[in-house]
Amino acid sequence: MKLYDTDLTSRLLLGTAQYPSPSVLLDAIKASATQVITVSLRREMPQGSAGGFYRLLQEANCHILPNTAGCHSASEAITTAKMARDLFETDWIKLEVIGQSDMLAPDVFELVEAAKILAKDGFKVFPYTTDDLSVGERLLDAGCDVLMPWGAPIGSGQGLRNPDRLRAMRAHFPNTPLIVDAGIGRPSDAIQAMELGMDAVLLNTAVAKAGNPVEMARAMSMAVRAGRMGYLADPMERRDMAVPSTPVFGLAELS
């Protein structure tokens, strides 16, 4: 998988929030085999410094994808992205602009505006968006090379609420990397996303809040790989009726 100018072998991106301890976080990252970890600048800098946490993440030896979680306007997100670039020394940014607090739904109008400005400023933008095709087109026009449609509201663990829309996105954007972001709760959800042809899955809460985060990270890694293999294997179509798997040719006829 290639995201912007970076080749990756893992198709699982992992968030770093809400883990019970730093050691569990590092163990989960290792078990997941991820190569990309996300970190929220605003959530990790309540006192104005994320230096200690950044040093911890460096131990994981992964690409860091800062995000603009907690931003509710394009201007907030742009300012946060620039701070993240200075702190983490990367031009990658996961762009989140929240418009509806109860569902943590993206504000697609502010999102497109922020994406346009950040892309012009040299950022490689990973936009957290809806599964709307027209919004996806506008984000690509704004300079994004990746789309990150939600599967369900952030942290809900509901799985894919509208797989048909994701399937439509895959068909409409055949050459654009699509990463399901938000809503994944179980390994079976990750498998479903990958079997739909998504290029990767980004998740956080499903691992961080599991009873055993390390084992769940390992399970998610296996699920993403299995789902991808299933997609490439071209699964059989669903049928309305039973079809015998045992050949009937050559069977004896008894009268």
38 is in an annotated binding site: no
Contacts of 136 (CB under 8 A, 6+ apart): 129, 147, 149, 169, 172, 173, 176
Q: Find out whether 147 and 176 touch, Cβ atoms under 8 Å.
A: yes
Q: Is 116 a catalytic residue?
A: no
Has 197 been labeled as part of a binding site? no
Beta strands in 48-119 (DSSP E): 63-67, 92-95, 98-100, 105-106
Q: Residue 202 is encoded by which pair of tokens?
A: 């980004």
204 is in an annotated binding site: yes
Q: Check whether 79 is labelled as a binding-site residue.
A: no
The separation between CA 97 and the C-alpha centre of its own chain, rounded to angstroms, equals 16
- Does 183 carry a binding-site annotation? yes
| Active-site hit among 30, 94, 116, 209 | 94
Token pair 């699964």 is found at 235
The CA distances from residue 55 to 49, 62, 252, in Å, are 12, 12, 73
Binding residue numbers: 155, 182-183, 204-205
Q: Catalytic residue positions? A: 94
Binding residue numbers for 1-deoxy-D-xylulose 5-phosphate: 155, 182-183, 204-205
